[in-house]
Structure 1
């Protein structure tokens, strides 16, 4: 800056009244100045900030409270309000310049699109085609006002208002999935563009999308099924498998889900070599959930000899790296003069998505006589609750189900209490004296 700033008295209406018409400035810091433009009828506040190379940029920020109007913090500002507004405008303008220095400033919408594209690439590399993240983020973020906000201008209030809008008509579990998807997208963008974003961007994302404990503490042990119902599901799966010509593929999938309590996304990746017959054990691949922590590639889970016998046909004459659980793909044959179009078996391949289980599952549940809203994930809940009630340590149950002890304690507390209640019952002793306890035995002191 080539000239020394001549600071004017701007702090009170009376001080400003004594000024001549024209522009007057006062420094907020070395590079930002608060200005006052004196006019015949009142005045207006301005701000200018240094851009380098002896150049400034200037903007009007509001009307001054020169006596005819009272300051309201919106369009009419006092001196202190004008100082605050000036600093904010200058800071935002500089952030805009930095964010746009190497191209268009990244927005929430661009962060979402980049995240979806990266997710699609990962899924393609795994041979999967999972579209649920794309559907959720496109519907609830890309089409909202939040998508238009630049990352450097994003506030906790913006994220809070968007999150509050989700609660209308959506289940809490669905809201959590959407929030988690957006958090991952924004964190990835914040890391990628960190040189162009304010230092507090990561904290804004963390605070604005923070998990609410009251939302997550849902009791899942109520979704667990009795062992008798699990057996009915398996029997129904065997019937549906036979009736619909699944060739054992459907029964084996339901059996593995029931016996291991693992997620569909895990068991579908099981290979033939993962079935260890001599040890009555299935090595289940760990989930791809979580970030930044090293995990073992598989979890060893003991299975019953009955389950093992049902799985033997799936490994006979097959290589160890081939998928353990497969199913037939079908294609439609064109109609002929003798018969209408029909679906016929085409080729075998691994299960791809949990949605492939939806249609046969509804038949299984109906045949088993269970409520229509019973979902396959109930098999996982049932496995966890069964082990807890059997007295297995919480940490072991968590490890066998590829989750944390904290999540087990948070969601399956009733089952833990039942198990601990049985253990603590052994430590109960009679505390009220009986008639026999009132007999006082004299000590034999002997004759003197």
Structure 2
């Protein structure tokens, strides 16, 4: 008699063994079930024949532990048939994703910023080794508690102890968001208020994104550039002319700027999506001078050692210039981005346009800058140059 995995009772009577118990769904497509040695729900496996390779492609589907026993078969069957269709169409079976770390690596392949966060807070944490099929709310809750307990590093001084502070709720939200997104790619939400509801432990802290209040006017920004050392000054001036994230500006190469059209291609940014923007005259002149005599792959803004700027290398010269210019000590590279966006909003430039230039959403611009007056006539970005 043929095996019928749709019957809960029949699955429960299956012998525990290494090789799954297979049920043929159709030619070249099989669904397997491996009972748990420890009395768990067992694991579902899909198998599809690849005619081009002359072998079967196998994929573990997990235990579907959040579903009632009578719904597991239908869900597993659907995924097995989807795998067969993919293989028959010549598609590639996705690399094996079994643990939380596997899910994070898969997610970060096209998202470098997420990869940085995973390296800091996930891969060396106990949650990394937890199998996705066994992930429960308590695992994620414990990870979140460990994350919240980690102090945030304010500066890396060469001399003396590093300056640290309590991790802000907004920072916790950003760190949790990438893990939540990675897991959501491979896991369905668990039943609400159950231990399987892993997603509930990653809910964002409400009202955590406080409004940025430190603002440097154009005169203060001009003074800051004047007090910055000659090597870092072009990079700092670029931050004053364009409302880009410091990391996005630092990642630019000479080939990203088209002198003929005064267009800039921004590839590496928080959103992970490339975009092109038209530059005003003064910004175009700065980038043209930085790109002169450089190969396309060379950093557009280069440090003395020939490498790109990063958050550890731009902090010291900006902090020194802030002190020399007599500006508020809390001013940072991000203060320049905030100040430029503030000027654009105050000038009445459409929020959608500002969002496109700065690489964020109109919703975020409205949330952080919607309180500003926009009665003035619309001005071009170039009119805000130093």
Assess same fold via TM > 0.5. yes
Determine helix, strand or coil for the equivalent of 1:95.
coil
**TM-score normalised by the chain length of structure 1:** 0.53
Task: Report deviation, 1:413.
Answer: 2.3
Counterpart in the other structure of 2:29: none
Task: Report deviation, 1:258.
Answer: 1.3
Show CA shifts across 1:2-25 (max 9, x none). xxxxxxxxxxxxxxxxxxxxxxxx
Contact map agreement 2:301 2:309 (CA 8 A) in 1: no
RMSD: 4.3
Counterpart in the other structure of 2:280: 302
Determine helix, strand or coil for the equivalent of 2:207.
helix
Counterpart in the other structure of 2:351: 394
Matched, 1:179 2:157: no
Counterpart in the other structure of 2:247: 265
Task: Report deviation, 1:174.
Answer: 2.3
Counterpart in the other structure of 2:204: 211
Determine the C-alpha separation between the residues in 2 that align with 1:182 and 1:202: 19
Which of 214, 223, 235 matches 1:223?
214
Matched, 1:95 2:41: yes
Count of aligned residue pairs for this structure pair = 291
Contact map agreement 1:233 1:364 (CA 8 A) in 2: yes
Matched, 1:354 2:311: yes
Task: Report deviation, 1:256.
Answer: 1.1
Counterpart in the other structure of 1:41: none
Determine helix, strand or coil for the equivalent of 2:12.
strand
Determine helix, strand or coil for the equivalent of 1:414.
coil
Matched, 1:413 2:374: no
Task: Report deviation, 1:223.
Answer: 2.9
Task: Report deviation, 1:138.
Answer: 4.4
Determine helix, strand or coil for the equivalent of 1:377.
helix
Counterpart in the other structure of 2:101: 112
Counterpart in the other structure of 2:25: none
Determine helix, strand or coil for the equivalent of 1:298.
strand
Determine helix, strand or coil for the equivalent of 1:327.
coil
Contact map agreement 2:121 2:147 (CA 8 A) in 1: no
Which of 318, 321, 324 matches 2:300?
324
**TM-score normalised by the chain length of structure 2:** 0.61
For structure 1, the residue ranges without an aligned partner over 5 or more in a row are 2-28, 33-48, 58-89, 192-198, 330-347, 424-448
Determine the C-alpha separation between the residues in 2 that align with 1:403 and 1:414: 18
Determine the C-alpha separation between the residues in 1 that align with 2:16 and 2:100: 32
Q: How does 1:418-437 map to 2 (within 5 A)?
A: 418-420=373-375
Task: Report deviation, 1:373.
Answer: 2.5
Query: CA 1:303–1:110 in structure 2 vs 1: closer, same or farther (change >3 Å)?
Result: farther
Show CA shifts across 1:58-105 (max 9, x none). xxxxxxxxxxxxxxxxxxxxxxxxxxxxxxxx9x94534448x989x8
Contact map agreement 2:250 2:309 (CA 8 A) in 1: yes
Determine the C-alpha separation between the residues in 1 that align with 2:216 and 2:110: 38
Task: Report deviation, 1:234.
Answer: 0.9
For structure 2, the residue ranges without an aligned partner over 5 or more in a row are 18-35, 46-57, 64-96, 150-165, 378-386
Q: How does 1:32-181 map to 2 (within 5 A)?
A: 50-53=11-14, 93-98=39-44, 110-112=99-101, 115=104, 119=108, 131=116, 133-138=118-123, 142-143=125-126, 146-147=127-128, 149-156=130-137, 158-160=139-141, 162-164=143-145, 166-168=147-149, 169-181=166-178
Show CA shifts across 1:157-183 (max 9, x none). 543454355445421232123212322
Contact map agreement 2:99 2:130 (CA 8 A) in 1: no
Task: Report deviation, 1:358.
Answer: 1.8
